[in-house]
């Protein structure tokens, strides 16, 4: 039961994940306040009639970050917290934190100019992977196999107007199997895990990867929980790759999709998220 808790859902569009969250809230008798990220405004003082807790489901990192900071300033707890959204939503900050906590992750070099980026790629070696510091779904990622490819990609990125494209995040290409792993962490538990299979080197479900339930091996659970705790914990998807020396964590997502995961595993992920969010409201 809701115990009078009003749940705010900050969203961009109502995807299958948000529909599942709304259904889970309704099944628990929880009143929901819908907060459209393209409509809601934020003053410097707390408005009246705020929800008791806000679950962030915006697809925009920038909107998410400012919104959770505003709600936090109003005294409303958020899932996830501002620090978690900031850390996990920025690949540079996340990689630095993972390395600081001695969590295995692919070799990474960050550069702040195209010239320095070429040096970073040379340090990593070919093939290398260029990723935007902020972004998901495998968009704007590129695998470069030689200096000619690298120069073309860097020239293209330099022509893009967004300031984030002036940050060059270069990572080693991990020769993994035709799959990676996603572990979904809620609080202090891995609630579900899946393999994502693809013939493409990018194994995002958004790019058509097929999913299969993955066993909760001790190594997977330990690394996923350590990675989630490193960025502050909450509701997080931890992406991992298999290497000859063991698993490595390559990304932590603070606003993860879970439609494919729920279908592959049969886990009521939406229900687990709602229950966790209610727990945050009652703390």
| Pairing outcome for strands 235-243 and 246-253 | antiparallel
Q: Looking at the domain assignment, is residue 102 inside a domain?
A: no
Domain end call among 118, 147, 172: 172
- What are the CA-CA distances from residue 258 to residues 38, 194, 265, 275 (Å)? 23, 10, 10, 16
Domain boundary among 172, 188, 205: 172
Alpha helices in the chain (DSSP H): 16-27, 61-73, 82-89, 91-100, 114-124, 147-159, 218-231, 259-265, 269-282
| Strand order across the 78-79 sheet | 32-36, 7-11, 53-57, 78-79
pLDDT along the chain (283 residues), means of 10: 84 98 97 98 96 97 97 98 97 97 97 93 95 74 90 80 79 89 97 88 64 96 98 98 94 96 97 98 91
Are residue 112 and residue 145 in the same domain, yes or no?
yes
pLDDT, tens only, 36-61: 999 999 999 999 999 999 999 999 99
Same domain assignment for residues 168 and 198 = no
- Six-digit token string for 270: 């939406």
Q: Which residues pair with 7 in a beta bridge?
A: 32, 53
Q: Is residue 194 domain-shared with residue 245, that is, in the same domain? A: yes
pTM equals: 0.91
What is the predicted pLDDT for the residue at 142?
Answer: 87
CA dihedral 221, 225, 68, 283 (to 10 degrees): 100
- The distance between the two most distant Cα atoms of the chain, rounded to a whole number of Å, is 61
Distance CA 18, CA 208 (A): 20
In a domain, 39, yes or no: yes
- pLDDT value of position 206: 56
Assigned domain for 213 exists? yes
Hey, CA dihedral for 273, 16, 63, 211, is it positive or negative?
A: positive
- Is 277 inside a domain boundary? no
- Give me the pLDDT at residue 210, please: 85
- Are 237 and 193 in contact by the 8 Å Cβ rule? The answer is no
Report how many domains make up the chain. 3
Residue 200's pLDDT is what?
67
Dump pLDDT digits (tens) for 133-162. Answer: 887 655 668 899 999 989 888 887 777 666
Q: Which among 172, 196, 223 is the end of a domain? A: 172
What is the full DSSP assignment across 164-227? GGGSEEEEEPP---SEEEEEEEETTEEEEEEEEE-SSS---GGGT-EEEE----HHHHHHHHHH
Domain presence at residue 1 = no
CATH code for position 125: 3.30.1490.20
**Domain housing 49:** 7-87
Does a structural domain hold residue 226?
yes
Q: Residue 123: phi, psi to the nearest 5?
A: -65, -40
Provide CB contacts within 8 A for 165, sequence distance 6+. Answer: 132, 157, 158
Residue 209 pLDDT: 76
What is residue 248's predicted lDDT score, i.e. its pLDDT? 97
Q: What's the sign of the alpha-carbon dihedral 82, 12, 196, 214?
A: positive
């Amino acid at each position: 039961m809701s115990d009078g808790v009003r749940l705010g859902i900050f969203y961009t569009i109502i995807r299958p994940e948000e529909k599942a969250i709304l259904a889970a809230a309704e099944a628990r008798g929880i009143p929901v306040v819908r907060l459209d990220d393209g409509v809601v405004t934020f003053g410097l003082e707390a408005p009246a009639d705020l929800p008791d807790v806000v679950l962030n489901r915006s697809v925009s990192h920038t909107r998410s970050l400012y919104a959770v900071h505003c709600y936090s300033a109003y005294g409303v707890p958020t899932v996830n917290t501002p620090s978690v959204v900031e850390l996990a939503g920025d690949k540079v900050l996340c990689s630095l934190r993972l390395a600081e906590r001695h969590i295995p992750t692919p070799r990474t070099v960050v550069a702040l100019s195209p010239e320095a980026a070429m040096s970073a790629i040379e340090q990593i070696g070919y093939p290398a992977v260029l990723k935007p510091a902020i972004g998901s779904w495998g968009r704007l990622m590129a695998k470069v196999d030689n200096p000619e490819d690298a120069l073309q990609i860097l020239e293209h990125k330099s022509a893009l107007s967004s300031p984030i494209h002036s940050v060059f995040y270069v990572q080693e290409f991990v020769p993994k199997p035709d799959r990676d792993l996603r572990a979904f962490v809620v609080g202090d538990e891995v609630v579900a895990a899946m393999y994502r299979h693809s013939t493409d080197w990018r194994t995002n479900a958004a790019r058509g990867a097929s999913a299969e339930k993955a066993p909760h091996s001790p190594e997977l659970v330990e690394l996923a929980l350590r990675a989630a705790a490193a960025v502050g914990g909450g509701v997080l998807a931890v992406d991992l790759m298999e290497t000859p020396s063991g698993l490595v964590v390559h990304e932590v997502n603070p606003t993860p999709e879970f439609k494919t995961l729920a279908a592959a595993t049969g886990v009521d992920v939406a229900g687990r998220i709602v229950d966790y969010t209610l727990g945050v409201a009652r703390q």
